[in-house]
Amino acid sequence: MGPAQRRPHPTVLGSSLMRRLLTTISCLLLGVAFAQGAQAATPLQIAPQQELVGLLHSASVRASPDGSVEETVAANRPITRERTVLPVLAAVIDNSVDAKGQLWLQVRLPGRVVGQQAPPETGWISASSTLISTTAWHLVVELGARRVLVYDAGVRVRSYEAVVGKPSTPTPTGEYFVEENVKMAAGAPGAPFALASSDRSAVLHEFEGGPGQIAIHGIENLGGTLGTAESHGCIRLATSAITWIAARVGPGVPITIV
């Protein structure tokens, strides 16, 4: 069962579409900024949609549109080989090269990989050779309440009890996104699905050969009592809950952990 994100047909960016897309992105980001501002007082006010960008090729990341290249983001994710999809935070047009201008996107970045230092949380990439889309899905993990809330177009549609990180290996809070939607083997810990996120453990920099990646996954072959704090940092859900979410949520979907 694959993810079924609610989004329009992806568009390959060309120079003739830049200004129209910039206007669209700006309108969407105003909604995101409003929701995030309200979130400081009321954590559960979520924007109705999030702009996403899919990479057709590896992307060079800069601290600013006119800055030097700091790192590269691969076009595909390491586990599933799915296309890398990143949330868009801002957009600008650079007219320094020619009158048509080049569209630059500020995006959230994937978390660290094994053997590397933690990358910056955000960076700027060129919008050339990318796919623009939107998602109406947003996941909120409430650590205190030990539950996962699912939002569709800004409306909460599901609430599930969860197992969260124990005090010695807490689940880090912040704004993240789904890097990969992984279908697990029947006997694998955390089956049947795992939503591998851009969040990384602050305690376990490497765990069972991985980068200490925080995931929202199933409880099968792991155990644990829903509504408790006893994991290594990941969020465990009942089989029915993670199956429902994984059928709808794919790469790029925002995750807010509070």
Q: Where are the alpha helices (H) located in the chain, listed in sequence order?
A: 18-39, 239-246
Q: What is the pLDDT of residues 70-96, one digit of tens each?
A: 999 999 999 999 999 999 999 998 766
Reading the block at residue 225, the tokens are: 């009592």
Distance of CA 174 to the CA centre of its chain: 11
Reading the block at residue 95, the tokens are: 């007219």
What is the 8-class DSSP label of residue 76? Answer: B
Residue 109 has pLDDT above 70, yes or no: yes
Residue spans of the domains in the chain: they are: 11-135, 137-257
Residues 6+ apart with CB under 8 A from 53: 85, 86, 88, 105, 107, 125, 127, 130, 131, 132, 133
Contact indicator for 25, 91 with CB cutoff of 8 Å: yes
Residues 6+ apart with CB under 8 A from 240: none
Question: HSE on the CB side for 165, CA within 13 Å?
Answer: 25
Task: Report the distance separating Cα 12 and Cα 128, nearest Å.
Answer: 8
Which residues are bridge partners to 124 per DSSP?
Answer: 62, 106
Contact indicator for 87, 71 with CB cutoff of 8 Å: no
CATH superfamily of 137-257: L,D-transpeptidase catalytic domain-like (2.40.440.10)
Higher-pLDDT residue of 54 and 232 is 54
Q: What is the pLDDT of residues 214-245, one digit of tens each?
A: 999 999 999 899 999 999 899 999 999 999 99
Reading the block at residue 207, the tokens are: 């765990």
Q: What is the pLDDT of residues 162-205, one digit of tens each?
A: 999 999 999 999 999 999 999 999 999 999 999 999 988 776 55
Burial 152-168 (b: 16+ CB within 10 A, else e): beeeeeeebbbbbbeee
pLDDT at 117: 60
pLDDT at 100: 62
**Full-model pTM:** 0.82
Task: Report the distance separating Cα 111 and Cα 199, nearest Å.
Answer: 6
